[in-house]
Structure 1
């Protein structure tokens, strides 16, 4: 558990939000896309999903 929390912090990812989102989505995710749930990939995908005006804030 400490490793996951530390990895989140090193990647500037909220260690409470990330696992909750991953657990909610992982069952429906195909195996070839599991890498998207790694904290650094997950963060990039969430940033890409945000509208441009929210990214500037």
Structure 2
């Protein structure tokens, strides 16, 4: 009897996470959209970072 009770109990919790994941999926795409804006800004800082990196080796060479 206990073994049978454990079997049905396992699928029940499994269904709950699946439902929650489905709700989280649509919410995830919405989050990356606003994140894309900050990402573009990060790329803007990327070029200056490359220049700084180039200056660092020059300082070491000097």
For the aligned pair, the TM-score class normalised by the smaller chain equals: under 0.3
Taking structure 1 as the reference length, the TM-score comes to 0.28
For the pair shown, which has the larger CA radius of gyration, 1 or 2? Answer: 2
Taking structure 2 as the reference length, the TM-score comes to 0.26
Higher RCO, 1 vs 2 (CA within 8 Å, ≥6 residues apart): 1
Could you say which structure has the higher helix fraction?
A: 2
